[in-house]
Amino acid sequence: MDYKQKSEKATLFKKWFLDNRFSIVLLNILLFFLIIWIFNKISFVLNPAWVFFSAILPPLLLAVIQYYVMNPVVDWFEKKFKVPRVVTILVLFLFVLIALIWIIIILVPIAQNQIKSLIKNWPNIWNDAVNATQEALRDPRLHEVKGSLQNMIDNTQKTLFKSGQSTINATIGNISSAVSIITMIVMTLLTAPFILFFMLKDGHQLRPYITKFAPEHWQSSFSQLLYDINYALASYIRGQITVAFWVGVMFVVGYMIIGLPYGLALAILAGFMNLIPYFGTPLALIPVFVIAIMTSGSMVIKVLVVFLIEQAIETRILSPLVMGNKMEMHPVTTILLLIGASSVWGLWGVFFGIPIYAILKIIVSRVYNYYRRESEIFSETDAVSSTTGDADKKANNAK
């Protein structure tokens, strides 16, 4: 009798806890937060590791970005023309050096003058825009919306003033750390090319080398996981940089044709801002429209035409050709991810939220598929689904 009761209790325990999906999910969530709590308690042990990681991250990150841009060229010359990787790498470095010298000598002085002039004249441009708006609000037909528009202008001015004050205060307060920041920039620029050279030379051997450390029966799956992560990162980085570059070029050409003041500086800003999906270009157009309004009414129409042409080329030709749907992310997911990541990590979250999400998505998907395949919890459902699938196949074959 006692044995029977024990057997029934063991069966109930297995039914409600060991083979219960809900219990397994709750247990995994509990373990996840327990690990986070433990790491939080021993954070003092991990501080040296974090300092070390923070020191090597800037040059490594710069080298990784350049690697994903240059590596396809090195691979193509090696496979197509049997050119040694070292030769192609050195030629690419030479081209990059020539391009940098041209940018420093020709492009930077022009952009620098425009940026200085824009920063110097921006308060006057903004005040003129505010005065023009207030003048327009005197129209009796806009009397009903005058109050809300005036409040919006006042709030915008206060926000800009507070942001400027906080930036100045932060700059003054961090003057002592300016030397360390300059040192970090110099060390990044000096060490990144060496890291990049060896990544381009031996990077294709990294995946097989890392795969060897996995258990033998996992090596195939682990290698495929590394391939998927590398493919996702490469697609995102190459796509974003390529699209941002050509967006900047299109705006440079468009602004030069219509004669927009500070066109080069504003086009460079639009190119950099385009690295932020969906929100970058609209944010970069705010100063453009302010300057266009202060220039003339026809300039506003010209800027609008340039923007519409650029958007048509980017959305219909450039982005589908370069990006496609390689990230497999719905636009709503991307927007919500950008909003959440920017709230938590600020500017870093905007730039790195999507690639980190893509990596985590691949890892979680692989782990879930493995768990579904190996766990007994899903055995009944998988058996039913496979039986249904076999029946459907037989029905289709009979047809």
What's the CA gap between 221 and 368, in Å, rounded? 13
Residue 120 lies in a domain: yes
Q: Is residue 332 assigned to a domain? A: no
- Extract the tokens encoding 205: 């051997």
pLDDT at residue 321, rounded to an integer = 80
Pair 75, 190: CB distance under 8 Å: no
Q: Report if residue 348 sits inside a domain.
A: no
Residue 40 tokens, joined? 């939080």
Evaluate whether residue 127 is within a structural domain: yes
Instruction: List, for residues 343-398, the tens digit of each pLDDT value.
Output: 888 878 888 888 999 899 999 898 888 878 776 666 555 544 444 444 444 444 44
Low-confidence ranges of the chain (pLDDT < 50): 1, 167-168, 171-176, 383-399
- pTM (predicted TM-score): 0.77
Please state, in angstroms and rounded to a whole number, the distance separating the CA atoms of residues 285 and 293: 12
Kindly state whether residue 114 falls inside one of the protein's structural domains: yes
Look at residue 186 and tell me if it is in a domain. yes
pLDDT tens digit sequence for 95-138? 999 999 998 898 888 888 888 888 888 878 877 777 776 676 66
For residue 62, give every residue at least 6 positions away whose Cβ sits within 8 Å of its Cβ, in sequence order, or none: 188, 192, 196
Amino acid (one-letter) located at 172? I
Q: Side chain identity at 229, as an amino acid letter?
A: I
Q: What is the DSSP string of 317-385?
A: IIHHHHTTTTT---HHHHHHHHHHHHHHHTHHHHHHHHHHHHHHHHHHHHHHHHHHHH-STTHHHHHHH
pLDDT of amino acid 251: 95
Instruction: Count how many residues are written for the chain.
Output: 399
Residue 191 sits in which domain range? 52-138+180-200
At 380 the pLDDT is 52
The CA distance from 191 to 294, in Å, is: 46
What is the number of structural domains in the chain? 1
Residue 247: Cβ-neighbour burial (10 angstroms; 0-12, 13-18, 19+): buried
Please give the Cα distance from 26 to 36 (Å, whole number).
15
* Residue 56 belongs to some domain of the structure: yes
HSE (CB half, 13 Å, CA atoms) of 334? 13
**Is 128 inside a domain boundary?**
yes
